[in-house]
Chains A and B, each alone.
Chain A
């Protein structure tokens, strides 16, 4: 079977800090990582391949340096990697990103299941997975925490809801987005790393994937980021002193004054 995993390279959030003087983001020693949710998507793709046979292809849209994210996926055991990279893709919002990835996936060829992360930790929208499904014309199931069953023709999964989960079945081809609970991603193997270093990454531009120019990049993006600012930092808190009973009493008083209990 053919599994396709969509991965995004994102800045590692641990080092996103706010400079208290200028109130801007500090991104020192910039480290780019595979979006954490996408590691679960890769792992799930690999497990399905091990169970069912077939091939896992990873695809990313991004600048040339996103290649390193794809090599990481290859070192974990993915078979092929595709990078959609072109200046014409710059400024894509989730609609243009979904369209572009869908064009890339169509060019890869026949597929049974597309796996995405729940969301990317930079843009944080969770919109690209369902967007790709719409553009590919396949059903989507979001927030998947477990694949209960899968065969050549259909898949049965558990989808997280606010108050529990749903058991949902659909025919393949389909798209799912996955949450952390689904698995524990493996570490790259030494052999995998050696192979990944040498492997060829398919670099496709806008003209390679036969997309309409009006639907990619900025031209294909209905939303515009008008302004970015840092939220006002939380005011320094109040420390409640005393023995545990006194502390408890003070806290309860504060909460009652604030009329929240």
Chain B
């Protein structure tokens, strides 16, 4: 088990060195490490800390790097696990957009596998929502009712979903990579001892191996990784919002609703939800927004955010910000986009007076269309921009708002 350099193949050409995200590969003199070779003087060595990510395999022209995995057997009886599940996240009784996106994608996966598509819906008074899920393509809805499930709380949600998975044995479980999904999916996976892939942006089925290929960005979107869960079931994944298309509603789609009630007494509940506060400065939340207009240090002061807000309002979008604007105290942290803020992927991202530092880019570079408004033609933001507007934002942004108002009426 582990990673190995094939001594007599490696020429010490150093092509692999740059590929390791952890900088673990070094080229050393063969003599020094006691591995002489008639032709080559140097050899690659791999330092401690390798996590077997495989990024170095491809760059080597000679296949001199090998990752050996122990011959493994399934750790559970895989044939017992069937069907695709979608966790239907609800807030205040309303199904969240990401659930419909997962239904759309889940339908494809289920059809490919020739299996059923089911939803898990936890809440209180969710009859209407359950029917809505059937109309959006679910073959079955597990509707679990209980006042303890009305609002999300980690403990009871973990208990209910884990128990249901253990009982019904689905092959695949998809959840939104939302605050809720990312908070408790990991607990469920840890309890079941199965694999969980985070924040996927692409899903596919390898029919031969009957495996889910889960592709996700890592290193802040600088690399993509395809992850599998070969020996355990279910294969669990959280999926990024706004990546997949929502399922289309078909009124005549039939499905079965399995309704159960849980008694709060049998579930653990160690946290107490005291209050839910809406951030009033925020018209539309960043995760849900199709359009985001962001402002940076180029705005010069807090009062100037009003031109950003007006543009956002005109477009029905949300307001984002760079860290520089947040750190200056011009706008609350909840608006910050980037590595230490939120990751967003709207249809349109308009960056105004933002230079495009890598920590900002990693939070927004997967947006469909990026518009950059900046007076510096060399600002790095232009490198990722679909449309670049070089100019003074105090002129361009109001002109844009005005034009949109004319066009959109």
A interface, CB within 8 angstroms of B:
11, 13-14, 16, 18-19, 22, 24-28, 30, 36-37, 62-66, 87, 90-95, 98-99, 121-131, 133-135, 138-143, 145, 156, 158-171, 174, 179-181, 218-219, 221-231, 234-240, 244-245, 247-249, 251-252, 254-256, 258, 260-261
Contacts and interface: CB of A to CB of B under 8 A. Distances in A.
B179 A140 contact: no
Contacts of B291: 260-261
A119 to B, nearest CB: 9
Contact of A124 (B195, B218, B227, B372): B218
Contacts of A160: 179, 334
Interface stretch (B36-44, B101-109, B132-140, B392-400): B392-400
Contact of A126 (B48, B182, B275, B278): B182
A238 B230 CA distance: 44
B368 A131 contact: no
Contacts, number: 333
Contact of A131 (B23, B186, B340, B386): B186
Interface of B: 1-2, 15, 18-23, 47-55, 58-59, 69-70, 75, 154-155, 158, 178-179, 182-187, 189-191, 193-199, 213, 217-232, 270-279, 282, 285-288, 290-291, 315, 333-334, 336, 339-341, 347-348, 358-359, 362, 365, 368-372, 382-392, 395-396, 399-400, 402-404, 407-408
B358 A168 contact: no
Given A166-B277, A226-B213, A248-B399, A95 B193 contact: yes
Contacts of A19: 18
Highest count of chain A CB atoms <10 Å: which of B20, B59, B186, B218: B186
**Interface secondary structure of A, over-half rule:** mixed
B230 A224 contact: yes
B231 A222 contact: yes
Nearest to B222: A16
Given A11-B21, A240-B388, A248-B396, A166 B276 contact: yes
A63 B279 CA distance: 42
Contacts of B224: 228-231
Highest count of chain B CB atoms <10 Å: which of A36, A127, A174, A231: A127
Contacts of B407: 252, 256
B301 to A, nearest CB: 20
15 contacts: A24-B58, A28-B18, A125-B196, A125-B198, A162-B178, A168-B274, A223-B196, A225-B52, A225-B226, A231-B223, A239-B389, A244-B392, A248-B403, A256-B407, A261-B315
Contacts of B282: 163-164
Nearest to B183: A142
Contact of B190 (A135, A138, A258): A135
Contacts of A28: 18
A168 B272 contact: yes
B179 to A, nearest CB: 5
